[in-house]
Amino acid sequence: MNDFTGKTGLIVGVANKRSIAWAIAQALAARGARLAVTYQGERLEENVRELCASLQDPLLLPLDVTDDGQIARVFEAIERGFGGLDFVVHGAAFAPREELSAPFVETTREGFRLSLDISAYSLIALARGAAPMMEKRGGGSIVTLTYLGSQRVFQNYNVMGVAKAALEATVRYLAADLGPRNIRVNAISAGPIKTLAASGISGFSGILQHYRDRAPLRRTIETAEVADAAVFLLGPAGRAVTAEVLMVDGGFHATGM
């Protein structure tokens, strides 16, 4: 059920070796998938190229998810290189650092717009581009990454929590829209992991310790555990699962005081 031989997918959101999107890419490649992996700007290109040297014949593409022209060119390249698409992993998320450190009531209009554009609207844009190519394969699966800050207040998460709430609503609406075309859309809500994105959140190590103290498993989670959940959702084992937010957080979401 976890064999991805002959399957092709798009991975968006790899920044470095600690990225959750990279862990998912490795898990899928190990199961036979051929991948198109994007990088955001020249600053991250070298990192992504070095990582992808370990993959089997990957397609590396630049992508700024706020640029519709670049999104279109990514799917044109995938069409030429793969001829179709079976799955998409959406790991794009961003909020300006100052929007995370200032009180939420001081969120700027531009900071709000940028955070929602990159973190939520980009999923719509990628789904729109992927859908016709997935239909050629008889359907497909899309997975995005969210966090419990969409539902609860976490210190210094601020506008990113609002963006993740919008992302989760987007998952449900896309799932309803694309389901008749046999395209599934789900999210994984992972516990806190030391990624590049997390480095912008003040007091992050305190959040990690709180999870260790309170989560039923009494530990934080690893990127490989999120990757295993993604493999389930993207593959045939998850064929009846859509519009879901799957919690992979050691059970922390179920706890109270």
- What lies within 8 Å, CB to CB, of 89 at 6+ separation is 9, 10, 11, 12, 13, 21, 24, 25, 28, 142, 143, 144, 230, 234
pLDDT at 201: 61
Q: What percent of the chain stands above pLDDT 70?
A: 96
If you search the block for the tokens 């207040």, which residue do you land on? 153
Dist CA 85 CA 111 (whole Å) = 33
Dist CA 199 CA 29 (whole Å) = 27
Asked whether residue 41 is assigned to any structural domain, the reply reads yes
Type of residue found at 27: A
Q: Tell me the pLDDT band of 158, cut-offs 50, 70 and 90.
A: very high
pLDDT at 256: 86
Contact status, residue 186 vs residue 234, Cβ threshold 8 Å: no
Asked whether residue 2 is assigned to any structural domain, the reply reads no
Asked whether residue 109 is assigned to any structural domain, the reply reads yes
Print the domain residue range for 91. 8-250
* Residues acting as catalytic residues: 147, 157
Q: What percent of the chain stands above pLDDT 90?
A: 87
Give the tens place of pLDDT for each residue, 54-73: 998 999 999 999 999 999 99
Question: Which of 183, 70, 72 has the alpha carbon at shortest distance from 129?
Answer: 72
pLDDT at 155: 87
Q: Of the given ranges (31-40, 149-158, 173-182), which has the lowest mean pLDDT?
A: 149-158
What total number of domains does the chain contain? 1
Q: Tell me the pLDDT band of 206, cut-offs 50, 70 and 90.
A: confident
CATH number at residue 179: 3.40.50.720
Contact status, residue 215 vs residue 249, Cβ threshold 8 Å: yes
Asked whether residue 180 is assigned to any structural domain, the reply reads yes
Provide the CB-side half-sphere exposure for 194 (13 A, CA).
Answer: 6
Residues comprising the chain, all counted: 257
Q: Is the per-residue pLDDT at 203 higher than 80? A: no
Q: Tell me the pLDDT band of 43, cut-offs 50, 70 and 90.
A: confident
Q: Is the per-residue pLDDT at 196 higher than 60? A: no
Asked whether residue 177 is assigned to any structural domain, the reply reads yes
Structure tokens at 203: 């007091």
pLDDT at 76: 98
Dist CA 65 CA 104 (whole Å) = 25
Asked whether residue 35 is assigned to any structural domain, the reply reads yes
Strands of the chain (E only): list them.
8-12, 34-39, 59-62, 87-90, 140-146, 183-190, 245-248
Q: Is the per-residue pLDDT at 130 higher than 60? A: yes
Structure tokens at 170: 């987007």
pLDDT at 194: 72
Kindly compute the dihedral angle of the four CA atoms of residues 62, 175, 178, 170, in this order, to the nearest 10 degrees.
-50
Asked whether residue 1 is assigned to any structural domain, the reply reads no
Dist CA 33 CA 210 (whole Å) = 37
CA distance to 14, 36, 45, 142, 209, per residue, from 52 (Å): 10, 10, 10, 21, 32
Q: What is the mean pLDDT of residues 209-216?
A: 90
Q: Of the given ranges (6-15, 211-220, 223-232), which has the lowest mean pLDDT?
A: 211-220
The sign of the dihedral angle between the CA atoms of 215, 216, 220, 224 is: negative
Question: Which of 91, 86, 96, 41 has the alpha carbon at shortest distance from 63?
Answer: 41
